[in-house]
Structure 1
């Protein structure tokens, strides 16, 4: 097992990462599994300020740092690296390469590359507006509070992904790919990625019907479906968004800005007269997400707006 043969696929959720994982593991050299979230489980050691706990995490971090200072013989970074690489060992049994596809690694991209500087990282971009649409349709989101569970993914994900991609534009271990390009010309785009990684490409790679490596409990909810990918994609596309979510998308586009969307992936912007929208402002009032951190007073204040929008479904 070599660090340089460890591959990470990083993106926003609903950006096509499962499909890319499927394509990249459709060979005899590469292994993968359903989203392991392995490194996120140890995020308190990788990126402490990302982690919250019922105990005082800041004091815990300070105390542990003090312990390491008192015992300089402990090379914690190397110990941690060895430990984490050992957790990936089962994926390498009988294979040269191993893929960890966990979209929310966008939260710890800098930490991953600092820990594994020789690993390969694939940054998969998709138009954030289409990401939002896919989240709503795929997970059957029917209210703004429920959509706010994905608040960090929508507000911070694209900008952090783009900043990392720009920062590492000359890093030969980082590869940036657009989902739209992958779908438009799958064979050509995936062949380029195979060549970049060093995997032998064959003409049967785009036909992933027999590949089961990526399937599991977590990840794309359609991955265990017997329906072909194209059929699922068509069904999802045909689902209509109600007026509330259309209103949200106008505000979300304004939040991202035309300049960013063009820089992010040369994505076209629909110019609209109305920039600030009530649905997006409603979305923004949540402190964290739809499961935790809801401000009840504000929730009651905005509740009538939710009722109003439901009239236009």
Structure 2
């Protein structure tokens, strides 16, 4: 492996900010390899990596591998390879291919092998990459273990992010009629949807905190805005090429459109420009006005590329898991007739049980 193992770039963003689309765009350049999977467990691994000791010792590496075997696997079907099996980087191949055993080098080798599976060649690769919405939760931990990495901070209108997160919460409930669900959202969003407000607040906090860390620690990063990217991808390509010191060989015709429907038109290589300001069509004018009154100027600090967490005057809305559970309950109750409540609960329970059995 000739690539410099310090050449790793992390995409940092809130969930549902367009990071999958950004990964697709970056991968159109032969110099960049970002495996089409998310290593969401990376932070949990970093928190305990010291317990394995020196990874150049075979027994220590074997223990590390057994405890974290899931990150060595790739589901190729999710990457757009029809009728493909799961690929797994075997422990012996991973270990024997290493010449340096810092965790940064170990992880870079994993990214390298997985990038090869998706067609990246050793001759062209100059940068390896990783993206996961989990990364924004502990950027300091990433910086500690990847001191030479570069970062791309992706921002998006926090209202659109919050709405997308809401809808994503229901991805497992296939039995819910989409039209009924949209009516339920419209009905609920005419009232006080506190969960949406809290999600918006969390998005603003996450981005401004990330920006604060990068600036305070003088980290090498660039900030990309989702709306600006959709409007002018060529400027983005120029910016990234300069940032990573690579040739501008990005090509929209090379988009792997099967990887995700998010951010690209299905069956085409075009970016989905109408993803901008979708909230204006999905929320009532009165609720939009309420959002603007609640957040004021704070609303725009997530995307202004300047404001940091200390610039937030007062943002006391905190999002948590229980908010989502209550919200889902309200959604169900808003469009399920009373006589159908038990049937709905039964369907949810049935899906939950079947999911558990398949684990």
Which TM class, normalised by the smaller chain length? 0.5 to 0.7
SS in 2 for 1:188: helix
1:261 alignment partner, one of 285, 299, 306? 299
- Deviation, structure 1 residue 305: 7.9
Tell me the equivalent position of 1:89.
112
Tell me the equivalent position of 2:74.
none
Say yes or no: does 1:3 pair with 2:44: no
Q: How far apart in 1 are the matches of 2:197 and 2:110? A: 30
1:158 alignment partner, one of 201, 204, 207? 204
1:283-307 deviation digits (Å, cap 9, x = unpaired): 96862634xxx599xx5xx689846
Unaligned runs of 5+ in 2: 54-59, 65-100, 172-177, 306-316, 337-359
- Deviation, structure 1 residue 125: 0.8
SS in 2 for 1:260: helix
Q: How far apart in 2 are the matches of 1:184 and 1:122? A: 18
Say yes or no: does 1:209 pair with 2:253: yes
Tell me the equivalent position of 1:234.
274
The answer on whether the counterparts of 2:17 and 2:161 sit within 8 Å (CA) in structure 1 is yes
- Deviation, structure 1 residue 258: 2.5
Q: What is the 5 A alignment of 1:17-96? A: 17-34=19-36, 36-38=37-39, 40-47=40-47, 80-90=103-113, 91=115, 93-94=121-122, 95-96=125-126
SS in 2 for 1:264: coil
Unaligned runs of 5+ in 1: 49-60, 69-73, 268-280, 309-313
- Deviation, structure 1 residue 229: 3.1
TM-score scaled by structure 2?
0.55
Q: How far apart in 2 are the matches of 1:126 and 1:235? A: 11
- Deviation, structure 1 residue 30: 1.6
Q: How far apart in 1 are the matches of 2:289 and 2:199? A: 17
Measured at CA, do residues 266 and 44 of structure 1 come closer, stay the same or move farther in structure 2, by a change above 3 Å? closer
The answer on whether the counterparts of 1:14 and 1:134 sit within 8 Å (CA) in structure 2 is yes
Tell me the equivalent position of 1:14.
16
The answer on whether the counterparts of 2:24 and 2:255 sit within 8 Å (CA) in structure 1 is yes
1:186 alignment partner, one of 204, 227, 233? 233
Q: How far apart in 1 are the matches of 2:282 and 2:142? A: 37
How many residues align? The count is 253
1:234-261 deviation digits (Å, cap 9, x = unpaired): 3885994265xx6665555555x22323
Deviates more, 1:107-116 or 1:163-172: 163-172
For the aligned residue pairs, the C-alpha RMSD in angstroms reads 4.5
Tell me the equivalent position of 1:277.
none
Q: How far apart in 2 are the matches of 1:32 and 1:305? A: 42
- Deviation, structure 1 residue 233: 3.8
- Deviation, structure 1 residue 176: 1.4
- Deviation, structure 1 residue 109: 1.9
The answer on whether the counterparts of 1:46 and 1:108 sit within 8 Å (CA) in structure 2 is no
- Deviation, structure 1 residue 148: 9.8
Deviates more, 1:233-242 or 1:114-123: 233-242
Tell me the equivalent position of 1:272.
none
Measured at CA, do residues 288 and 242 of structure 1 come closer, stay the same or move farther in structure 2, by a change above 3 Å? closer
Measured at CA, do residues 249 and 227 of structure 1 come closer, stay the same or move farther in structure 2, by a change above 3 Å? farther
The answer on whether the counterparts of 2:13 and 2:19 sit within 8 Å (CA) in structure 1 is yes
TM-score scaled by structure 1?
0.62
SS in 2 for 1:129: helix
The answer on whether the counterparts of 1:22 and 1:211 sit within 8 Å (CA) in structure 2 is yes
Q: How far apart in 2 are the matches of 1:287 and 1:86? A: 39
